[in-house]
A and B are shown apart, each in its own frame.
Chain A
């Protein structure tokens, strides 16, 4: 809201410079975002931002009241009319049919308006605050709204049928033409002001076209009322209509301001519109009362919250400056009366905040709490996460942060999204799933980077995946590490040729993480995922618990994301990994006796699985085989069609003695023979 400092001067004396006052207000919680200088007429505008608990600051008088408290200076009240009208408007009546929506409604009939020209000072002040002058009566209602914060509405009295004002809920299917020219269909819960026939205003939000005042208007009915904040807000939001009125009503206006605003408007109308007749005020309902009218406060409560001792006399002074009625029981103990414009003050803590604000946050000393140390162990999950992050970033992968909300693109609704959590009110078209997998998120990342010219995109993300099964009430969030590799493994150098990344590179990353977490005794199994190419999916398990899965992204998805080269994708459940990983790892002594190395190069049929060969070899080691490692794998060359050549390096070593070359050779030959028989393997002569 814009506040004119010239206008403020009607109520408080502003000791220059005004920038200092702006700063004082800001440091008291009434934030002045900007000071703006105007010329013709010269003025300074404060752009203020209020917090939702202080709607009483939404007017010049309200801001002046705060300045008076902060600066400890006198506050003048707005000039009001004593409301001399004695005769009630003949035949007029007000009826409230929805007291929940409108507890208090007042009005006055004004007839025989002769002047329509708005005085310059009102035009200028409205303009400074961003409101265009329209018509004297409308200008006066706007002026009062900006001055004391009470929204008013003036109807053309001759257009109100039946001299009747009814405050009621809208009727089924009722339509309403607004001042702004549009027509809306009212909701059942909307509160309207109606005459004997039809709605004439959307209560607290906007007036109606049919009863709008014009330059022909001679007689007006002036409304000043209190509308329920929640109801106004709902109507305003539902119809997407925000007005200066609705803005204030939905934040709650001061019930006393209903009368004050009306009196102030009458005074201005009397003076500038020169009407022939002003009726007595007619009213319906009761002013809402504060639920809490007094609060007990003790000085020691103030000290224990703020950590600073403020003298009781100073506390009483501060509360008094804020317009609260302070009564001392005994030294350091008060009963504090709360004025109608401060419904936010209901508990001692609310008063303590007020005291701190005016005392000045800057005057409260800074201290450091010295305490016994509490539990300082770091969460094992965070430790594991950090390990994984360092491991993968050290291996050349970049960590990403992508949105947890995804669209259905690329996923199967019957498989992937079957147990996914769905959002009722998605923001963007389609983004209504809490992702059960990060595969599509990382495909997006790869696509973006490829489009930007990257030829290698190694990325990972550590975030939650989400799911809910039919038996569960609350969704499950699983901390997951997703890895995706695309393009070149490493850039070409004069020493190394470039090569494409493969599924084995990805598997290596996963294995390294599992090993690093201390997981042993892992096994693998083929799995199927809707987004993996047939036959490429694999799951890594510890006993029965799946820890990770990986595979090559299907061609269909690559097409969707317009990618030319394969994408390899893995997910590791950090949650499950953590459950498997030992807290500390015991040291293992390595054998002291020398090792003997032997290579074994075999040609086998394509369908023979390398892992089976390795387990077979291991099983025959008789405790003397320490390591088996695949060091070469190739096809073509001298290898027959449909076959592949695998070359293993085997390290023989005993923990108890030095092995003799002969016995190793015997064992090695026996293993080789077994493989030849069992897997129809043949030796590759080198």
Chain B
């Protein structure tokens, strides 16, 4: 056995001297140390060696094995494989990052809110921003002499249309086009001639929602909107329903969330006013519904601690890239 070991060692030394490539060193390693390698074979025969010699033979085998492994490693270090860097990788240096783009925070907020309602079965729809008085006011039960129709509160075009002042217009368009049941949400831009300051802008974003069928109730409105707010703000959120007035819903409600020590208005909603059903040609005696609307900027400002609405429209990359 000992002779066999020394013969293998001698031959290995000769083989090693002739090795000239990374491939060859791998072939050499397999020939001696692989599963069926020559040295591995000797290890397998160790069981047949008489007990008194076993210890010495085993030690000898291990010495040769270590020498072979070291030789292979040494060759590899001196002859790096093609493509492998000879420089050391410095794990303390930062990586080189791909370019950093972003989706606008308002868009992300719209997608998140829409996503929650989509999962509850509300379909996202859109409507035009340049609208008629009918869709923006008349059909929404807003009387002809209502102040919101004034040029102080609504932009008008030279062609006699207006810029929608609320996404509720989409309710009307969808109801005029389709029959109940309906479950929709409609995000989009709206316009009001407000002077721009930290909390106002003449253009902002709203999301309108509408559910219509033959039996939906005010208590369903409460359930759906509470679930929405829990999804958006977390299950711990405290809310309250406060009676309010909107021309196109009755009963109407504003929903506040508890924020710090006080309450903050976050959603306007209500059961669809029967006059609205009249306007769109639904039978108000058999059709029931609820509608809601929310301001996207307001929600984004609250959730991200943004104090000034103008950040959204100034598009400073330092702002955009934070989200």
Contact = CB atoms under 8 A, between A and B. Distances in A.
B317 A401 contact: no
Interface string A247-260: 00000000000000
B145 interface: yes
B321 A54 contact: no
A389 B110 CA distance: 13
Interface in A355-380: 356-357, 361-362, 364-369, 371, 373-379
B315 A448 contact: yes
Contacts of B155: 405, 423-427
A371 B213 contact: yes
A477 B102 contact: no
Interface stretch (A23-31, A84-92, A641-649): A23-31
A608 interface: no
Interface in A93-117: none
A397 interface: yes
Interface in B91-129: 96, 98-104, 106-107, 111, 118, 121, 123-126, 128-129
B226 to A, nearest CB: 6
Given A29-B243, A398-B101, A379 B124 contact: yes
Interface stretch (A126-134, A458-466, A544-552): A458-466
Interface string A385-400: 0100110111111111
A464 B129 contact: yes
Given A305-B251, A423-B156, A452-B318, A402 B313 contact: yes
Interface residues of A, number: 89
Contacts of B125: 379
Given A369-B211, A425-B155, A401 B191 contact: no
B152 A389 contact: no
A397 B126 CA distance: 25
B124 A475 contact: no
A384 B243 CA distance: 40
Given A404-B203, A405-B202, A454 B317 contact: yes
A477 B118 CA distance: 25
Contacts of A367: 217, 219-220, 222-223
Interface string B294-318: 0000000000000000001111111
Contacts, number: 237
A474 interface: yes
A423 B99 contact: no
A404 B226 contact: no
A51 B218 contact: no
Contacts of A373: 121
Nearest to B255: A361
Contacts of A28: 243
Contacts of B211: 369
Interface in A1-55: 26-29, 31, 51-54
A454 B319 CA distance: 12
A430 interface: no
B224 A349 contact: no
Interface in B134-152: 145, 147, 150-152
Nearest to A234: B145
Given A304-B288, A389-B103, A401-B315, A434 B219 contact: no
Interface stretch (B27-35, B75-83, B158-166): B158-166
Contacts of A424: 151, 155-158
Nearest to A356: B251
Interface of A: 26-29, 31, 51-54, 229-230, 233, 237, 304-308, 347, 349-350, 352-353, 356-357, 361-362, 364-369, 371, 373-379, 381-382, 386, 389-390, 392-405, 421-428, 434, 445, 448-449, 452, 454, 457-459, 463-464, 466, 468, 473-475, 477, 490, 493, 495-496
Of all A-B residue pairs in the complex, the 7 with the closest CB atoms, nearest first, are: A396-B99, A307-B217, A29-B243, A307-B219, A51-B245, A393-B101, A353-B251
7 contacts: A307-B218, A399-B101, A399-B320, A401-B313, A474-B161, A475-B157, A477-B128
